[in-house]
Amino acid sequence: MTGVDTHQLEQLESNARREVAEAESLPDLTAIRAGYLGKKGSLAAILRGIGELDGAERAAVGKSANITKGRIEQCVAERRAAIEAAVRKQALGAQALDTSLPGVEDPPLGRLHPITRVFRDMVEFFSSMGFAIEEGPEVETQYNNFEALNIPEVHPARDEQDTFYVDGGNVLRTHTSNVQIRTMTGRTPPFRFIAPGRVYRHDLSPRHSPMFHQIEGFMVDEQVSFGDLKGLLMAFGRHLMGDDIELRFRANDFPFTEPSAELDYVCLLCEKQGCAVCSGSGWMEWGGCGMIHPRVLENCGIDSERYQGFAFGMGVDRTALLRYGIPHIRLLFEGDLRVLGRI
């Protein structure tokens, strides 16, 4: 054999296998393949020499060269698959999620708002006593908010300073007492209802906000006394603030009750010493109550000779201030986590 022999092909194949095995990347592999199998590659160079061989030899070497080429191609393909698999594995590894890692430490937990919390306790108390829940609209007619409740036109509560008037002569309800009228009208006693909700007044101080919350309650039957009312509200106050809470009844005057009283909590923010929230009095007005005025019952179509009832309206925000030691009503509406986290 002159120009070409099978030994040369074996040598070429073994060199190619070694280089291919060492290729680390696809571009390297492509270059190596071209170096052996490309038009200007080593195998082509060898084949150029076979012209000098005689016919039988040329055929034999040509065949061997093809087999060599096939084996190198196979070797390159295997290496390509291996490199691609390694690249994929590395990419996946980079995005891998380690599910055994600990989570974010101490994530901030959502809580009920202090007002929601107080409302729920209030509703729970009255539900357990057989009171049903009613709700009324926040935009109310002057009739339901005032007149039907025996609040005459000249009463200070009708003054623009206290009341927000809206288009059409309606008002933003100044108390939840409107629900008394809406609930009693057209129905026959006995009644036992509570009405929690938002109310609105032109007012701003550590214990007044233009929007605040009340819970109204009333009971009407043939035998209902002021004693029932007093016992109920004392139990209510203790349910919310604990058995040791000091409460006091004071005579008061409301157009829609006769007799009327105001119920105060001792101011827990200052322990009765007097502070800005209780205006130095040591007591916090919690709400009003009394025996429903016969005229209110008659306005709702109820026979006031046969039926009598009591009613009350308590402040919810103030209860939250005392219960959670919050020194200004505005703090309840600012979303500050230091306040919201107190419950």
Please give the residue ranges that form the binding site for ligand DAH (CB under 6 A). Answer: 175, 177, 216, 254, 257, 287-290, 311-313
196 vs 288, beta carbon nearer ligand DAH: 288
DSSP for 10-43, written as a single string: HHHHHHHHHHHHH--SHHHHHHHHHHHHSTTSHH
CB of 309 to ligand DAH, least distance (A): 10
CB of 176 to ligand DAH, least distance (A): 7
Q: Are strands 257-266 and 247-254 parallel, antiparallel or unpaired?
A: antiparallel
Q: Is residue 106 classed as helix, strand or coil in its secondary structure?
A: coil
184 vs 339, beta carbon nearer ligand DAH: 184
The two three-digit tokens of residue 210, written as one number: 């233009």
237 vs 290, beta carbon nearer ligand DAH: 290
Note the Cα 201 to chain centre separation in Å: 28
CB of 234 to ligand DAH, least distance (A): 16
Q: Is residue 136 classed as helix, strand or coil in its secondary structure?
A: coil
269 vs 311, beta carbon nearer ligand DAH: 311
Note the Cα 217 to chain centre separation in Å: 30
126 vs 254, beta carbon nearer ligand DAH: 254
**Rounded Cα distance, 339 and 316, in Å:** 16
Cα–Cα distances (Å) from 326 to 139, 277, 318, in that order, read 29, 10, 9
Cβ neighbour number for residue 320 with a 10 Å cutoff = 26
**Rounded Cα distance, 79 and 84, in Å:** 9
CB of 303 to ligand DAH, least distance (A): 20
CB of 184 to ligand DAH, least distance (A): 12
Give the angle subtended at the CA of 33 by the CAs of 31 and 37, to the nearest 5°. 125
CB of 290 to ligand DAH, least distance (A): 5
